[in-house]
Amino acid sequence: MRDIVILRSLLYFVMAGLCEIGGGYLVWLWVRESKSGWLALGGVLLLTAYGFVATLQPANFGRAYAAYGGIFIILSIIWGWKVDNVIPDRMDWLGGTIALAGVLVIMYAPRT
């Protein structure tokens, strides 16, 4: 049962991250690259969806948002690599790995 809760939690983190990063990226394109205002509207909708998806976490607000920061770091590195073609270097991966270790401790380590 605990494995299902952890997998569901990780899925919520990834969904929230994609909504936040994708929404921010669409707004970025509108503001910084003078793309269509429709992209901004899509960005606002994704950012709103992020707010709702994040509430699905089984942990309390502070713990879930603290851990989400690590997921956001990893997803941002991957987004930059796959969408903006910025190849991560060893330090990007090292920092992301450290952040991910923090996520695992904050969210999923047994508590006494």
CB 95 within 8 A of CB 70: no
**Which among 76, 37, 73, 83 has a CA at the least distance from the CA of 29?**
37
**Which among 34, 16, 35 has a CA at the least distance from the CA of 76?**
16
pLDDT per residue over 3-19, tens digit each?
Answer: 999 999 999 999 999 99
- Give pLDDT, residue 4: 94
1 pLDDT exceeds 80?
Answer: no
- Give pLDDT, residue 41: 98
- Give pLDDT, residue 17: 97
Domain tally, the chain: 1
pLDDT per residue over 45-104, tens digit each?
Answer: 999 999 999 999 999 999 999 999 999 999 999 999 999 999 999 999 999 999 999 999
What DSSP assignment string belongs to 48-111?
HHHHHHGGG-SS-HHHHHHHHHHHHHHHHHHHHHHTS-----HHHHHHHHHHHHHHHHHHHS--
2 pLDDT exceeds 90?
Answer: no
Structural domain boundaries enclosing 9: 2-108
